[in-house]
Amino acid sequence: MLKLGELEASIMDVLWNATEPMRVREVLDELNQHRDLAYTTVMTVLDNLHRKGLVVREMENRAYHYTAVSSREEATAQTLRELLDSGGDRESVLLHFVRSASEEESDFLRKALRRKPRKR
């Protein structure tokens, strides 16, 4: 996942919290509860997010409806994967990460690794 700017991240948060696809106006109304943005600004950012492959859009009644391509958790996991792949020594990166994990996170990782089917 590409690094998101502040407004891109805010728009993705709105889409991730949505229960159904949203029109530009609906995203704008949600964002403008805490700021004052122009319709064209939100439309441009949604178009950019679509071009980056982070949202899909479908034309309905002459208006695009936008949906996030993946969940927040899936996008975060993809970002972690890309960071791990770009870090050079994967083992060292993973060890540094594990050392920084809380006890609760470590317990969760141990349980998850026990459940994970092994590739052959």
* Mean pLDDT per 10-residue segment, the chain (120 residues): 84 96 97 96 97 95 95 88 81 86 90 75
Q: Strand 22-23's sheet: what is its strand order? A: 22-23, 63-68, 55-60
Torsion of CA 81, 85, 87, 89, to 10 degrees: 120
**pTM across the whole model:** 0.78
pLDDT score at 116: 66
> Which helix (H) or strand (E) covers residue 39, if one does?
helix 39-51
Calculate the alpha carbon distances from 25 to 64, 92, 93 in Å.
10, 46, 43
pLDDT score at 2: 56
Residue 21 CA to residue 26 CA, distance in Å, equals 10
